[in-house]
Amino acid sequence: MPLSPPADRETLHRRAIMMHGYRRADGLFDIEGHLEDTKTYPFVNQDRGTIEPGEPLHGMWLRLTVDEDLLIVSCEAATDHSPYSICPQAAPNFAALAGLRIGPGFTRAVKERVGGVHGCTHLREMLAQMATVAFQTVYSSRRKRELADPAAAQASQNRLVGTCLAYAPDSPIVQQRWAAPQPG
């Protein structure tokens, strides 16, 4: 169902974020994201002069390589377009995310490693979405493992229950998927 019809308006800013999850031949997974910001009007920028309509103000890439358990094996960032010439210098710092696991505490750990003056706001913001894409990408591999291992299935249930409306402890989804066996 779409949103209600909007009021008369004019587009001023566009942010496009594209993310993909890949299975690699070596058994790892690559999660890639690209962010691009454009304006519909020209404006003067301190380092770049006039930025024309449709010309990217921000153009950034991020690749996380993760294993099936969402451990980050490596992280690579690149900045093609930025408002200031210094901005691309933050990209190499994102390699410091190697060794983190996507899960509880991930956002805090990211801030510790590439927060503030050590990173880039736009690349950091992409990481939360990329974490979700990583989960979705490795899901089928993890699900196969859960079906073969009751302990893994229980761990999955523990991670998901209470995270959204569908996974509320009393939702029909949780009741159907993880219903306790009835005494016989």
Which tens digits make up the pLDDT trace of 92-145?
999 999 999 999 999 999 999 999 999 999 999 999 999 999 999 999 887 777
Question: What sign does the CA torsion over 59, 24, 153, 147 have?
Answer: positive
- Residue 135: name the closest of 97, 101, 109 by CA: 101
pTM score, whole prediction: 0.85
What digits encode the pLDDT tens for the residues 41-100? Answer: 999 999 999 999 999 999 999 999 999 999 999 999 999 999 999 999 999 999 999 999
In this model, does residue 156 exceed pLDDT 90? no
Distances (CA, A) of 157 to 19, 40, 49: 26, 46, 53
- Residue 73: name the closest of 65, 85, 81, 62 by CA: 65
